[in-house]
Structures are given as C-alpha cells and as structure tokens.
Amino acid sequence: THKIILDTDPGIDDAMAIFFAFQSPEIEVLGLTTVFGNVPVSMAAQNGLSLCELAEVDIPVCKGVAMPWVGPESKYAHFVHGDDGFGNINHPAPVGKIDPRSSAEFIVEMARKYPSEITIVAVGPLGNLALALRLEPNLPKLIKSVNIMGGAAFVAGNVTPVAEANIWNDAFAAEIVLAADWEVNMFGLDVTYDLPFQPDFTSILAEKNPTLGGFVKKAAEFYTEFYSKGKETEQCYFHDAFPLAYMIDPSLFEMTAGNVRVSTDKLNQGQTSFAPYGTTASPDWLEASSVNFATKVDHPRLTELFINRYAL
C-alpha cells in the first residue's frame, strides 16, 4: 500500500477525492492536512473532520496555512463550493477535535517517521508544503513523491486565462514546492477539464454507496449548477481525485516530463508554463524545476475506477 498525506481544502471535489482514497485498499491515508483555498482554513479543517466522521475513518485532521505566502487574504471559492464548502447542504458539524499539530508540523513528523515512504497528495493551494519545506529543509529526501492537483500545461486556466485555482491561490508557495528537489507529478486542467461528469455519475455513486456516494451526489448539486452555466448539458469536474487515481493505476494517464515555471507577477499570477524536455534550448529553462505533467487520461477506465471504489 501507498502511505499518503492528503493535503486538502474541502470543497466538493475534495470530498469526493477523500472518500475515493478511503475506499481504495492500495492507499493508506495517514492524515488530512488542511489549508485555506475553496474555504477559510478553519472551515476546511472542520469539513475534513466531518468527512472522516461520515466515513468512520479515525485519522488526524490538521489545520494549516490560512493565507497565501505573499499578499492579502485569499478570495475563497464559495460561489463554486457553497457557503459551507459542501454546496449548502446543512451537513452537521463534526463532534471530534482537530489535531493540535499544524499541517506543516504533521507532514514533517510523518516524513521523519516513515522516511521515503510517503507520497503527499496535494489538492489545494500549496502553502502547507512550502511551510513544511521551511521547517525541515531535508524534507525532499524524506518524501517519496508529491502528487499535485494543480496547474495547466497546454490549456487555459480556470481563475484567469492562464492560471488554475490551486496554483493561483498561492503562487509563491507553489514556486517553493516545485523548486524543491523531489519527484513531482502534476494533474492539472489538461486532464481534469477533459472529463466532465454528468449527474447520472453521482447518482450511480449514491446508488452503490448511499452514505458516501449519497453525500457526494447531494453536495455536487450546487457545484454542478456552477459548472453548467452556459452549457447545454449539466456537468461538473472531480479534479482532486485524479492524482489519487494515478497512485492506484498509473496506466490511466499519459505523463509528459519537462520543466515548469510558476509566474508570481500580478497579471499572470499562478501561470504554470511548461516545456517538455527537448522543446527549449534556453539556459533559463534548462534550470527550471522538473515535473511530470499529466497530458492525457483514459476516460472510461477512470470513470469505472471511481464507481468500483465507491461500490467496495
């Protein structure tokens, strides 16, 4: 099994991804580390705990970074995920307690406990990982790999024409994380926007798994309304589950290795410019961070995997 720490800002697609991880025997979730993003960090932590309680999974849920590395407080995505981060469904508050360790402290502690065993799956802004790198500069040697939902290699952004939300939300942190010397696999809008899900998909999840799938179906109604504006068919996207699916079955994806740069300037904030190896001879680019970017995904097989896992 793969030991992971799931770094998240729940969030509706985060919720769907968290349950997908819990339902997958190949994946052992050591804890949830939460970060501001879709919602403020205290809500992200409470939501993470609610999801664990609903799934009856007893793991630490930590609260992390509340603001971007540089600049003013973030604009949260309540218009995408609802006032509660769950599509305004009045889900009861959790009864348990948030872990006293910060998200960054938890990452460092686990990395020291299980050297080279842990993959960090980051599906929110990257502030917790950047802070963990500051707490423990040796972290890249202690971590197996970092799988990120974020960025856009060859397609447009979703917050601005060039930037994807997780990277845009904390571009300086993203730059720190990508510059560190560890294996990074990125799952951005090239693959996640390539696979829209119609409401019949969440109905199947609910049918197979009334508790977890039922929650996702209910929460996704508001989210689907947002994503369907101006479209002919009702649909939404489950971005955050993609880096987890890669851990279960890497053959679902085509990965392209290359160099990446994150823009921190105001206008292009959070842009991920990507040069596959061999496509640029510029010396600056040859020094840029190395990543594997997901550039293609097998739709039918990924959809089937989600459904099978919810059904377990």
Catalytic residue numbers? Answer: 9, 239
Shortest spacing between CB 76 and ligand BDR, in angstroms: 10
272 binds ligand BDR (CB under 6 A): no
- Cα 246 to Cα 35, 243, 251, distances in angstroms: 22, 5, 8
* Closest residue by Cα to residue 54 from 89, 7, 79, 100: 89
Which CB sits closer to ligand BDR, 38 or 292?
A: 38
Q: How far is the CB of 283 from ligand BDR (least distance, A)?
A: 32
- Residues 247/251/257/262 CA torsion (nearest 10 deg): -50
Task: Output 145 or 158, the one with its CB closest to ligand BDR.
Answer: 158
Pick from 35, 108, 143, 149 the residue near ligand BDR by CB under 6 A.
149
Tell which residue, 166, 121, 153, 115, has the closest CA to residue 5.
Answer: 121
Q: How far is the CB of 125 from Ca ion (least distance, A)?
A: 8
DSSP E strand boundaries for the chain: 2-8, 27-34, 61-63, 99-102, 118-122, 143-149, 184-187, 253-262, 272-276, 289-297
Nearer to Ca ion, 82 or 124 (CB): 124
Residues 77-106, mask of contacts with ligand BDR (x by CB under 6 A): x--x--------------------------
Which of 55, 240, 272, 310 is close enough to bind ligand BDR by CB under 6 A?
A: 240
Collapsed DSSP state (helix, strand, coil) of residue 27 = strand
Site string for ligand BDR, 45-84 (x = CB under 6 A): --------------------------------x--x----
Interface with Ca ion (CB under 5 A): 9, 11, 14, 123-124, 240
d(CA 214, CA 225): 17
Q: What is the sign, positive or negative, of the torsion defined by CA atoms of 37, 40, 43, 49?
A: positive
Q: ω into residue 11 within 30 of 0, thus cis?
A: yes
Binds ligand BDR by CB under 6 A, chosen from 13, 99, 105, 136: 13
Provide the binding-site residues for ligand BDR, judged by CB under 6 A.
Answer: 11, 13-14, 38, 77, 80, 123-124, 149, 158, 164-166, 239-240
